[in-house]
Structure formats: structure tokens, C-alpha cells
Amino acid sequence: MAGVTAGTEVTVTLRLPANAAHVRTARLIAAAMARRCGISEGLLDEVRLAVGEACARAVRQHERNRCLDPITVEFAESKRFRVAVVDRARPGAGIRAGSGARVGGAEVPPWTDPSGDALGLALLSAVVQDLKVAPEDGGAGTRVSMSWPVG
């Protein structure tokens, strides 16, 4: 699988429609994978929250950019349990007014509200000690990588 750090083994790759309804699916699978990898019960809430936030962020990015590609969630187990959430939306594009964030001149739904990203990133960085946010494919998307100790 392209983009995976050498030396780690991808055990499961999920491809999800960039739709808010599927973020829960990603959380459930993340928790199941984390358990399988031997993550302590105390960290499961953090894994669920972090994967949910990263996926919600990816879905928002795709909605803003009207990007119809799926988002990808990669799970790998090595010395740590690694999760990467990859979106295909060009970061920074389409966030301004007129991008479709306003529907019929009415209120902006919270998932397209930039402040939603701020809160989400605050939560992500608070619960994940090993967090990396980097451009993917030369800037055509973003990879949010995180990991937790196993056992």
C-alpha cells in the first residue's frame, strides 16, 4: 500500500465514502482492531475519539471541496498500533464563503463550520501523543497519522 512507512505491516485498510454516517463505522472498526492488537482498555476511548475526529475532519474536508473520492483508514500493528486517516481533498481550498458551506443563505451546518475543525484538532492533539498531520500525494490530500503503545 503506497504511503505506508516501511517496516510496518498494514493489517486492514478501510475505504469509506466521505459521508458522516460512516464515521461511526470507522470508530467501531478502530476499537475492534485496537482490542485485537492488545491496546489497554484505558486507551480504547482515546482511540475511538481520535479516529472519529480524524475521520470527521476528513469528511468535512471532502464536503467543503465537493470531493467524491472515498477516505482511507489504514490500521497497522508493529511495536505500536498505528492508524492513518487519509483524505483526498486539497487542504485550504473551498473553505471560503460561497463554497457551498451556506445552504440557501441559511445557517452554516456545524460540520462545515471552521470552528468545528479547531475543536476537533484540539481534542486530537490532546488525546494523541504521537500525532502527525502531513500533506499526502504532493498536497492533494492530508494524512493524519497516530499511534498508541500495544500491551
Partner 1 sequence: MDLTLNTRTEGQHTVLAVAGEVDVYTAPALRDRIADLLDKGQQRLVIDLGGVEFLDSTGLGVLVAGLNRAREVGGSLSLVCPQERVLKLFRITGLDEVFTVHSTVDDALADVQAS
Binding site for partner 1 (CB under 8 A): 20-21, 23-24, 27, 45, 48-49, 52-53, 55-56, 59-60, 109-111, 113, 115-116, 119-120, 122-123, 126-127
Between CA 62 and CA 69 the distance in angstroms is: 8
Nearer to partner 1, 55 or 76 (CB): 55
The CB density around residue 148, as the number of other CB atoms within 10 Å, is: 21
The least CB distance from residue 57 to partner 1, in Å, is: 9
Instruction: Give the torsion sign (CA, 18, 20, 25, 31).
Output: positive
Nearer to partner 1, 101 or 127 (CB): 127
The least CB distance from residue 109 to partner 1, in Å, is: 6
Nearer to partner 1, 3 or 109 (CB): 109
